[in-house]
């Protein structure tokens, strides 16, 4: 199946500026729409399809702290699941940026709370 690929750049203060994530635009848009309307299977697929985002962010933060990457991965996956449940297409941001911010906020809150 041919997919239309798009590049989404991430920008934040934790080193992800300009990192492209290649997505099947049509498939991702459909998946996000179904997840936003309450489709549990779509939410699960959305989480599975974006687990690499969690891995990258958690690994980056773990390399800069004494907190094990496994702990950051757990927090990041929880944040990704929350994102899949709470994302609204009516907002001004796409799902990846929304999820990335939720993951970063969750991990940073854990780091500053220790």
Q: Can you give the pLDDT at residue 79?
A: 96
Summarised one tens digit per residue, pLDDT across range 26-48 is: 567 788 888 888 899 999 999 99
Q: Is 16 helix (H, G, I), strand (E, B) or coil?
A: coil
Q: Can you give the pLDDT at residue 31?
A: 86
* In the predicted structure, residue 75 carries a pLDDT above the cut 80: yes
**Domains (ranges, CATH) in the chain?**
5-112 (1.10.1740.10)
Give the mean pLDDT of 52-56: 95
C-beta of residue 49 within 8 angstroms of C-beta of residue 35 = no
**Neighbouring residues of 33: CB distance < 8 A, sequence distance ≥ 6:** 89
What ranges in the chain are assigned the alpha helix state H? 25-36, 40-49, 51-62, 69-86, 95-112
C-beta of residue 81 within 8 angstroms of C-beta of residue 54 = no
């Amino acid at each position: 199946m041919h997919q239309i690929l798009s590049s989404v750049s991430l920008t934040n203060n934790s080193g992800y500026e300009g990192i492209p994530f290649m997505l099947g635009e049509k498939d991702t848009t459909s998946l996000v729409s179904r997840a936003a309307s309450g489709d549990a299977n779509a939410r699960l697929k959305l989480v599975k399809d974006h687990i690499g985002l969690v891995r990258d962010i958690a690994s980056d933060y773990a390399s800069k702290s004494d907190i094990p990457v496994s702990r950051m991965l757990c927090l990041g996956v929880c944040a990704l699941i929350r994102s899949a449940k709470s994302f609204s297409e009516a907002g001004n941001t796409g799902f990846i940026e929304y999820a990335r911010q939720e993951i970063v906020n969750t991990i940073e809150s854990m780091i500053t709370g220790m």
